[in-house]
Amino acid sequence: MQMSISEPEEIKINMTAMIDIVFQLLVFFIMTFKVVAMEGDFNIKMPLASESADSLDEELPDLITVRLEAGENGNISSIIVDDSETLREATMFPDLTNIVEERLAAEGNPEQDSETEVEFDIDYNLKYLYTVKAIGAVSGRALPDGKMKTLIKKVKFKDVGN
Amino acid sequence: MRLFKKKSTEILEGDLTPMIDMTFQLIAFFMLLINFSEVDRAEEILLPSSVLAVPPVVRPDYQIILNLEPNGVVVFEGQKNGIDLLNPLLSRQVDAAAREGIRDPADIAVIIRSHEDTPTGVVQELMAKCQESELQSFSLRVKNQK
C-alpha cells in the first residue's frame, strides 16, 4: 500500500474584519481622548466653631492676618497685612510673599517647619482668582531653579464656621 | 514583435503584522489614558492657576468634589443645585462615607473646584454649608501652572 504525504496547505485567515474593527476602536479612542490639565490643591483646614472653642486652652500658633479688599468688578484693590501694612501696587502679591518671608525669619521659624498661620479676611465680591493668588503668595515662592520654597502651610478664612 | 508583457496575476500580500501590532499598542495606550470620570469635572469651570498648588499624591479615602460656577450654582455628580439645597446631598455623602468605614466627617476631603470669577464670598458660603454637615477638611483645586 502506498502512503502519499501531501504537503500541508498554508492556512490563510481573513484579517480584514479584525483590522476594520481595530481601526474603528482606534478612531473611537482618539476622538474621545482629552488632554486633561494637571491640577493641584491648596489645603485648608476649617475646624468647626465648637472645636475651636474647645481648643482655646492650647497654645495658639503665630497668626498673620491678611485682608483682601475688592475694588470695581471684583478686582483686587489692596492687601492689608496685620492691619498695618497696605499693599496697593501691581507687585502686591510678590510684596505679600516678601512680608511673610520676613515675618517668618523675624520669628525664627525655619520655613519648612513653620507653625505660623495666615487668616484671610476677604471682601465678599473679590474674585476667587485673587484669593488663590494671595494663598499662593503666602504659601511659598518659586525659586529660579524651578524649586519651591514653602512658607505658610496653615491657611484659614475668617468668618467661616466662627 | 511582442508589444505587451504578460502581466503577473498573483495577488500581492503585504505583511500586516507590524501594522496590527502598532495599532493594538495605540489602542492600549488610549484605553489606559481615557478618563471616563468626567462627571466629577465640570468642563465649563475655568480654574485659577498657580505654580504653588500641590498635585494630590494620595487620593483621600473619601472625597466630595464640588464644582462652583460664578453664579453660585454647585455642580455635584453632574447635577446642578443652589448652595442652600446642598444639605441633603452632603448628609447623604456623609452617610455613604460612614458605610465605607469613615465615621468622622472631618476625614472626608471636600474638593472645591471653583470658577476663577466666582466671588470669594460664595466660596466661603459653600464652605460654611459644608461645615453644617461637619465637613472641615477642604482643598481648593487650581490648575497647576508649570
B44 contacts B68 by C-beta, under 8 angstroms: no
Query: Residues 6 or more apart from B130 whose CB is under 8 A from it?
Result: B66, B86, B90, B110, B136, B138
Map residue B75 onto helix, strand or coil: strand
B42 contacts B50 by C-beta, under 8 angstroms: no
Nearest to A156 by CA among B80, B110, B107, B137: B137
User: In this structure, is residue B6 part of a structural domain?
Assistant: no
Sign of the CA dihedral with B96 first, then B100, B105, and B106 last: negative
This model of the complex carries an ipTM of 0.76
Give the pLDDT confidence of A84-129 residue by residue, as tens digits.
Answer: 888 887 889 999 999 988 888 887 765 555 678 889 999 999 999 9
CA distance to partner chain B, nearest, from residue A76 (Å): 11
Q: A135 and chain B: CB distance < 8 Å anywhere?
A: yes
User: In this structure, is residue B26 part of a structural domain?
Assistant: no
Strands A148-150, A76-81: pairing is unpaired
User: In this structure, is residue B102 part of a structural domain?
Assistant: yes
Q: What is the pLDDT along chain B (146 residues), one digit of tens a residue?
A: 555 666 666 777 778 888 889 999 999 998 888 766 555 667 788 899 888 887 877 888 899 999 999 998 999 887 888 998 898 999 999 999 999 988 888 889 999 999 999 999 999 999 999 988 888 889 999 988 76
Q: Which residues of B touch A42 (CB under 8 A)?
A: 50, 52-54, 139-140, 142
Q: How many domains does chain B have?
A: 1
Q: Which residues of B touch A130 (CB under 8 A)?
A: 120
What domain range is B83 assigned to? Answer: 39-144
